[in-house]
C-alpha cells in the first residue's frame, strides 16, 4: 500500500500544482487561505497596485493575541519554468518520484512555506488554538518580481492594522549543500546603477562630424571594473560590482551611434551605505580623464542597505532546533543575494532558514521529501522553544 504524503509534503505538492509565476496568484494563496482558515487563523487577502507595475495579490494570516508576536514570511510566486519540455517531470505537476518532489518553486520557496505552515498548524492544534502569544504569516506574490506591490506594502498594511512583530523567519533556501548548513542572519545591500553616454550620431566615414559614445562608455566601465571597494570584514564578504548589460541599440554597421548605456549592480557590505556608495561611484566616474562626450549616472529606486540581526533569543532558538533535528550547528551567514528580509528588518529582528538551494530557478527544481519533513520538524521545535521562553 502506498503511504500517504506527510502534511508538509502534501501541502508542498499542492502548492507546486498552482502555476503562480510572478505576478499570477495561480491558486496558491487561495489554497493557503483555505488551510489556514480551517485551523482558526484570521486570513486577509489584499491586492496592492502601482501605476507602473502589475497588481499583486498578498496574504496575511494571524492567530492568537498579545506578545510575543512571531511571523513566518515567504512568497508563493515563482520564476518562469523555461523550456517545459526540458523538465524530467512537468514543472507544475508536483510529481513525487523516488522520494523527490519535482516542480517550480520546490525549494524557492513553496517547499519552505509548506514546511512552516505544517509546523504552525501542528503547533496551533497542540494548543487547541489558545496560543501563548500571536503567530502570523506574511505571504507575498511579488518577491521574484519588482518587489513593489508585495512585502513592503503588506508590512505597511499590517502596521496600520496595529500589528507589532517581535521576530520573523523567512523560509528562503539558505543551505548550500545540506539541511542545517546555514542560517542567514543578515544580507549585503544592493545598488543598481545606469551609466549613459551621449555623443553625436554620424557616418563612420566622417568621424570628425560625430562623437562616438562607445569609447567613453568603455573607459567609464573600465574604471568601475578596476574599483576595489573593500576587503570585507568579520561579518560580511567583500563588496562586488558586476556589469550586467551594455546597450547601444545600433543595427547599422556604418553609423556612429548617438548613445551608449550600461547597467551594473553592486552587492555591498556594512562598510558602505547606499548614500556613501553612490558618492564613491559618482566620484570614480568623475575622475576618469579624457572623455569627450556627456555622461550621466542614475540609480534605481529599489536600492537597499545591508543589515545584520543581533537578536540572540531568535538566533539561538533556531540554531538549537536545527542542531537537534540535523545533528549540525548551522553557520551564521550573510552571503548570497537579497530577499524580502531586507524589508522586514525595518519592523522586527529577522533571520532566514529554509531548504537546500542547489536547484532553485533551475530546470528540474526539486527537493527530497525527507528534507521537507525535517524542515517542518525544525520549525515546529523552534515554535515550542520560542514561545515557551517568552
Note if the bond before 100 is cis, omega within 30 degrees: no
Report which of 201, 196, 203, 193 is spatially closest to residue 291, judged by C-alpha positions.
196
CB atoms within 10 A of CB 280: 14
CA–CA dist 353, 180 (Å, integer):
9
Sign of the dihedral through C-alpha 127, 128, 132, 134: positive
CA–CA dist 350, 62 (Å, integer):
18
Classify residue 108 as exposed, middle or buried by CB count within 10 Å of its CB (0-12, 13-18, 19+).
buried
Tell me how far CA of residue 374 lies from CA of 29, 116, 119, 138, 383, in angstroms: 24, 11, 10, 22, 14
Just list the catalytic residues. 77, 143
CA–CA dist 242, 287 (Å, integer):
20
Sign of the dihedral through C-alpha 331, 333, 339, 344: positive
Report which of 337, 314, 286 is spatially closest to residue 385, judged by C-alpha positions.
314
Return the percent helix, strand and coil in the chain, to nearest 5: 30, 25, 40
CA–CA dist 319, 349 (Å, integer):
15
CA–CA dist 70, 342 (Å, integer):
17
Amino acid at each position: 500500500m502506498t503511504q500517504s504524503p506527510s502534511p508538509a509534503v502534501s501541502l508542498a505538492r499542492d502548492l507546486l500544482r498552482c502555476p503562480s509565476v510572478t505576478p499570477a496568484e495561480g491558486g496558491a494563496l487561495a489554497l493557503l487561505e483555505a488551510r489556514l482558515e480551517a485551523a482558526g487563523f484570521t486570513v486577509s487577502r489584499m491586492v496592492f497596485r502601482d501605476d507602473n507595475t502589475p497588481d499583486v495579490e498578498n496574504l496575511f494570516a494571524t492567530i492568537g493575541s498579545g506578545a510575543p508576536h512571531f511571523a513566518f514570511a515567504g512568497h508563493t510566486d515563482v520564476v518562469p519554468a523555461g523550456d517545459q519540455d526540458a523538465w524530467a517531470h512537468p514543472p507544475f505537476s508536483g510529481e513525487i518520484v523516488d522520494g523527490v518532489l519535482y516542480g517550480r518553486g520546490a525549494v524557492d520557496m513553496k517547499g519552505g512555506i509548506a514546511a512552516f505552515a505544517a509546523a504552525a498548524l501542528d503547533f496551533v492544534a497542540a494548543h487547541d488554538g489558545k496560543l501563548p502569544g500571536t503567530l502570523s504569516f506574511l505571504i507575498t506574490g511579488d518577491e521574484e518580481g519588482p518587489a513593489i506591490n508585495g512585502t513592503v506594502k503588506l508590512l505597511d498594511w499590517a502596521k496600520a492594522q496595529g500589528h507589532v512583530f517581535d521576530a520573523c523567519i523567512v523560509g528562503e533556501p539558505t543551505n548550500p549543500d545540506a539541511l542545517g548548513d546555514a542560517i542567514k542572519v543578515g544580507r549585503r545591500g544592493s545598488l543598481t546603477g545606469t551609466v549613459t553616454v551621449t555623443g553625436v550620431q554620424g557616418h563612420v566615414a566622417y568621424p570628425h562630424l560625430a562623437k562616438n559614445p562607445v569609447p567613453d562608455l568603455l573607459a567609464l566601465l573600465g574604471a568601475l571594473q578596476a574599483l576595489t571597494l573593500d576587503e570585507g570584514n568579520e561579518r560580511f564578504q567583500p563588496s562586488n560590482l558586476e556589469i550586467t548589460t551594455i546597450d547601444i541599440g545600433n543595427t547599422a554597421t556604418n553609423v556612429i551611434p548617438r548613445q551608449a548605456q550600461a547597467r551594473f549592480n553592486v552587492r555591498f557590505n556594512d562598510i558602505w551605505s547606499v548614500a556613501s556608495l553612490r558618492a564613491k561611484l559618482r566620484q570614480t566616474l568623475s575622475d576618469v580623464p579624457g572623455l569627450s562626450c556627456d555622461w550621466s549616472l542614475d540609480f534605481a529606486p529599489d536600492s537597499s542597505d545591508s543589515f545584520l540581526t543581533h537578536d540572540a533569543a531568535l538566533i539561538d532558538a533556531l540554531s538549537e532546533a536545527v542542531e537537534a533535528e540535523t545533528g549540525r550547528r548551522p553557520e551564521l551567514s550573510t552571503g548570497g543575494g537579497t530577499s524580502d528580509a531586507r524589508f522586514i528588518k525595518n519592523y522586527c529582528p529577522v533571520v532566514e532558514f529554509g531548504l537546500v538551494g542547489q536547484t532553485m530557478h533551475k530546470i528540474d527544481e526539486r527537493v527530497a521529501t525527507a528534507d521537507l519533513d525535517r524542515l517542518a520538524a525544525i520549525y515546529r521545535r523552534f515554535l515550542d522553544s520560542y514561545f515557551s521562553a517568552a
